[in-house]
Structure 1
Amino acid sequence: MIFTTHRLSVIMLALFIGFVTNCNNNSGPDNESPHYFEFTHQGEEINYTFVAKTSSPEVISKVEDELSKPMDQRNLHIHGTIARGSKEYNSRWSWHFVPGQWDLVEVSAEVCDGRPGMVEEDLDYWVDQVGTFCPWSSVVSAEAKVE
């Protein structure tokens, strides 16, 4: 019995150490520091900005690559799931991109293309029926500073 109890204690200690080690591992996407990026389109009749949050290393890398190009050479737009609710980093709008559920893409279906004001005016349709937002005219303009 002592052998079994000792062995069980060693196994539990090993599991506990493994658990603590995994909890302190910051390499996963959920543990990355959040980044906030401003998107815009400025033209003669169109002028908007919004901010999206992500902790995905892959998305952050794509965005940084786009930001390294001159504005007129940026060819990727945001595409992702949107949800109701204003966020402190996107307070101008009553919706936001769900962190971890958006990406930069070159092509999207027309059904999710639009302007932020269109989403604002018919939020139930965009969130409940379309589910995603992919403004083709959007380009990342800067990393936003959010405190």
Structure 2
Amino acid sequence: MRTLTAVVAGAAATSALLLGPASATAETLREGAYVATIQVFSSGETYRVELLRQADADQAVRLMNGEVTHPGIPIGDIVRGSSGVNTGYDWHIDPATFHWADITAEACDGQPHEVSNADEWKVQQYCPWTIKVVSVTPES
């Protein structure tokens, strides 16, 4: 069972949800998914990903809170067209393929706006190397 233990808010910090223990479940959960907002350091741009697995949501919260640094590279397959939760873009990450990695190919590193240019972005995945998780919220 997934648990929501507290809401944290700060004047200078983004509101965030603290999720229950990682051991709660790691199975794929469509109902009750979370959305992580991720900032790419080099540009300051943000994008959003849907997190279906509790383990991915838990890791996002740990990264956001500075409790861990690895695995810390978000990676998943790019879906063109509907932006899903990734509003403001013409693409989103397939939530079924999303996970956190320690190492990825440099070819999938870049800025969110670069992924929008399908003629220039030649790989199927997106995996920005230097990121900060700025929020994790229940999907509405």
Q: Same fold (TM over 0.5)?
A: yes
List per-residue Cα deviations over 1:22-79 (Å, max 9, x = no partner).
xxxxx95144511000000345xx1200100021122122112212217xx7451211
Q: Give, in angstroms, the shift of residue 141 of structure 1.
A: 1.4
Q: Give, in angstroms, the shift of residue 117 of structure 1.
A: 1.2
Tell me whether 1:100 sits opposite 2:61 in the alignment: no
Q: Which has the higher helix share?
A: 1
From the superposition, tell whether residues 50 and 92 of structure 1 become closer, same or farther in structure 2 (CA, over 3 Å). Answer: same
Tell me whether 1:139 sits opposite 2:132 in the alignment: yes
1:121-140 to structure 2, matched below 5 A, reads 122-124=117-119, 126=121, 129-140=122-133
What is the Cα-based RMSD across aligned positions, in Å?
Answer: 2.6
From the superposition, tell whether residues 101 and 91 of structure 1 become closer, same or farther in structure 2 (CA, over 3 Å). Answer: same
Residue ranges of structure 2 left out of the alignment (5+ in a row): 1-25
Tell me whether 1:116 sits opposite 2:112 in the alignment: yes
Cross-structure match for 1:65 = 62
Cross-structure match for 1:54 = 51
Larger Rg: 1
Runs (4+) off by over 2 Å: 85-89, 144-147
Query: Scaled by the length of structure 2, what TM-score is found?
Result: 0.69
The amino acid across from 1:39 in the alignment is: I
What is the number of residues matched between the two proteins?
A: 115
From the superposition, tell whether residues 67 and 115 of structure 1 become closer, same or farther in structure 2 (CA, over 3 Å). Answer: same
Query: Scaled by the length of structure 1, what TM-score is found?
Result: 0.66
Q: Give, in angstroms, the shift of residue 130 of structure 1.
A: 1.1
Q: Secondary structure at the match of 1:89?
A: coil
